[in-house]
Amino acid sequence: MKRDIHDLAMVSPSAWLGEGTRIGAFAIVGDDVELGDRCIVEPYAIIQGPSSFGKENHFYSHSVVGNDPQDLKFAGEKTRLEAGDANQFREFCTVSRGTSLGGGVTRLGNHNLIMSYAHIAHDCRVGSYTILVNAATLGGHVTVEDYAQVGAFCPVHQFCRIGKFAYVAAHTVVTQDVAPFSKVVAPRGTKTYGVNSVGLARAGFSPERIHAIEKAFRLLLHSKLNTTQALVKMRETLAGSEDVTELVRFIETAARGLAK
């Protein structure tokens, strides 16, 4: 099975490509990169070395994998990234090589899904079958064990461990180890503080329309009525406002509840 390298790709003479590997236009495969059989490097993806990958890894456009560690102590020494088979590196994710103080190697196992904008820092140890959701961020020296999931926009402090089969919910800040088999979530403190009056005025809402909406929100947020009672009161006192009618309709069709 031959390799398929686009004429506009840049592949270092020192790179080693397995059989059936495909390299797209404007992709860069740098010095001392080893790609196993049937890897796919999409257009504009960048893979730096020294790094080695098993078979059937997929590097999506604009992923940057095997780049220098983001560590001020790094002085250009030879460090590595090692990954197994069938990992997916989605758009704009970044994976750094190791540092000499951390053993010199960042390691990933097999069948990991690294979603868009996720980051794996230097000297991390990521097992197999893990998922790093969009913009999940692993600090240096973090360990993520097999089958763990790290949710969207979760920063994980350096040297922390995420145990096997653990689930870290979105927007959770991890500063201590997460036990295997556990679910971890940060407090959900989202609140509604009132009407977007400035935005409505800029959009051309008249003072009368804004006033009616503000009355509705006072009933919803600042009266002693529960949501159902507040909706009844809105219908009774503000029936002439199409905006309030739309607000009532929206609240009554909220499948996941309403932030208040």
In this structure, what token pair is assigned to residue 130?
Answer: 């893990």
Query: Of 122, 127, 139, 151, which one is the catalytic site residue?
Result: 122
**CB-count burial class (<10 Å; 0-12, 13-18, 19+) for 208:** exposed
Under 8 Å between Cβ of 97 and 81: yes
Element (H, E) at 16: strand 16-17
Sign of CA pseudo-dihedral 212, 216, 219, 225: positive
Query: Of 30, 66, 98, 140, which one is the catalytic site residue?
Result: 140
User: To 10 degrees, what angle do helices 207-221 and 242-252 make?
Assistant: 30
CA geometry: angle at 119 spanning 92 and 190, to 5°? Answer: 95
Give which of 110, 126, 11, 185 is closest to 118, Cα–Cα. 126
Between CA 131 and CA 47 the distance in angstroms is: 20
Cα-only R_g, the chain: 25
Query: Is 123 annotated in the active site?
Result: yes
Query: Is 122 annotated in the active site?
Result: yes
Query: Is 18 annotated in the active site?
Result: no
- Residue carrying structure tokens 């196992």: 109
Query: Of 24, 71, 123, 127, which one is the catalytic site residue?
Result: 123
The string of DSSP codes covering 122-153 is TT-EE-SS-EE-TT-EE-TT-EE-TT-EE-TT
Catalytic residues: 122-123, 140
